Structure 1
Amino acid sequence: MKKRNIMTSLSVAALSLSLLSGVAASADSMSNMHDMSSMKMEKKTTKKSTKKSSMKMTKKSAKKMTKKSSKKMNMKHSMMGGMMMDGLEMNMNSKLPKGLKKATHAKFHVGQKVTLKAKHMEGMYNAKATVAGVYKTDLYEIDFMPTNGGKMVKNHKWVVASELKAKGALKAGKKVTVLADHMYDMKGAKGKIVKVHKGPAYVVTFKDTKTKMVMKNHKWLTQQELKAIK
């Protein structure tokens, strides 16, 4: 009887030990799975962080390259003897605007010979010119930051309404994005309106009094900045 009780006790102990071993193994397995899951999560997080960091570096590098490229372009244009205005190279391939309403009752007409009385740039004052276009639109004097990262351009004359992008009415103090390309590094620049001038707006072709270079379809001049040649 005693022998049977001892055998029974041993069997129960063995079964308990087996169950405890199974629980421990299961716990170890769960722990290993948790560790593996944590490692995967860490790898994913590290990968995402590295990717974001890489993208930021790429954007910064691209921005620096764009600025350097723009400055090189300006230097190249200057070396070629291009005309300058407000410290920026003029676009010598300017074309007449499309979609603007033509002014029919302006003081000066297309084809008329005039003398320029504006001082927007060197070689402009008293230059002989021909009116290339007259449009029914107001003109805006603006301050803007060139896209090449150069100095702020102050009191630039002129741009018209279709060359400015802004929310709400165009008036003095309004922040704008410049759409004009009269000069290199002007298009896309951020700025603000300084002054609004009543139209019409004139486009002229003139010969620079300093360099003798011909500026075709120069934008823009006000009626008060032109004088008829008698």
Structure 2
Amino acid sequence: MKKLILLGLSTTFILMGCTDTSDTTETNDSNTEMNVAEEDANQDEMTEMDEMDENDEIDEMDEMAEMDHDGEIPTDLKKAEEPAFPEGSTAIITAAHMPGMEGAEATIVGAFDTTVYEVSYTPTTGEERVTNHRWVIQEDLEEGTDVAEAGDEVVLDAEHMAGMQGATAIVEEVYNGTIYAVDYDATTDGERVTNHMWMTEDELEAPEE
């Protein structure tokens, strides 16, 4: 009789052990599938974000490429009395307003004291909105425009880019000081750019001796 009872208990424990193992396996399999699904979703999200960043960079480069390489400097500008980079001197460009600009050696064509603006506007040509364009100056605004402040609406009277002249712009930033027009050879293809407008003092540095 005791042998029968022990045999029955042993069988019960064996069955219970088998059942527990099966449940654990199914749970582990389920967790594995969930983890794989989460990893795939995260990878898809990261890929989508990378593509968005790449597209933004391409759009920005397209906007810069449309800038007018050469321009006519306004004649009513006040020449800077003691600019850091006098007319005729050279400087290294540290900004990237256009492809081939950053790192190029520039010749200073003119240095002027005026009010400088960073603006956002919709081109009159119907192209996409241009945001945080650097730079336009007081003399690039519609004649008779008072000195503006950040947030003001102004009308542009310059042709730095196609669709700029006559466009209504929002002033994003205001800077008072010396502004420069420069000539330089693009580092990308050697193309000569004359009277590029505009560079601030912070976007130029003295060449190494």
TM-score (norm 2): 0.66
CA contact (8 A) 2:153 2:171 kept: yes
Q: Report Cα offsets for 1:26-54 as digits up to 9, x if no partner.
A: xxxxxxxxxxxxxxxxxxxxxxxxxxxxx
Asked if 1:211 corresponds to 2:194, the answer is no
Match 2:73 to one of 71, 93, 96: 96
Asked if 1:119 corresponds to 2:96, the answer is yes
Asked if 1:149 corresponds to 2:133, the answer is no
Q: Which residue of 1 aligns with 2:164?
A: 186
Once the two structures are TM-superposed, the CA of residue 169 in structure 1 deviates from its matched residue by: 3.7
Q: Which residue of 2 aligns with 1:177?
A: 155
Once the two structures are TM-superposed, the CA of residue 170 in structure 1 deviates from its matched residue by: 0.5
CA contact (8 A) 1:86 1:156 kept: no
SS in 2 for 1:137: strand
Measure, in 2, the Cα distance between the counterparts of 1:226 and 1:169.
Answer: 25
Asked if 1:163 corresponds to 2:163, the answer is no
Q: Which residue of 1 aligns with 2:34?
A: none
Q: Which residue of 2 aligns with 1:53?
A: none
Measure, in 2, the Cα distance between the counterparts of 1:225 and 1:136.
Answer: 16
CA contact (8 A) 2:74 2:139 kept: no
Measure, in 2, the Cα distance between the counterparts of 1:138 and 1:85.
Answer: 27
Measure, in 1, the Cα distance between the counterparts of 2:145 and 2:193.
Answer: 33
Change in CA separation of 1:85 and 1:127 when aligned onto 2, cut-off 3 Å: farther
Change in CA separation of 1:195 and 1:116 when aligned onto 2, cut-off 3 Å: same
State the 4+ residue runs in structure 1 displaced beyond 6 angstroms: none
Q: How many residues align?
A: 147
Measure, in 2, the Cα distance between the counterparts of 1:132 and 1:87.
Answer: 21
Choose between structure 1 and 2 for higher RCO, CA contacts under 8 A separated by at least 6 residues.
2
Quick one: percent identity of the two aligned structures? 35
Once the two structures are TM-superposed, the CA of residue 152 in structure 1 deviates from its matched residue by: 0.3
TM-score (norm 1): 0.60
Once the two structures are TM-superposed, the CA of residue 168 in structure 1 deviates from its matched residue by: 4.5
Once the two structures are TM-superposed, the CA of residue 93 in structure 1 deviates from its matched residue by: 3.9
> 5+ residue gaps in structure 1?
1-83
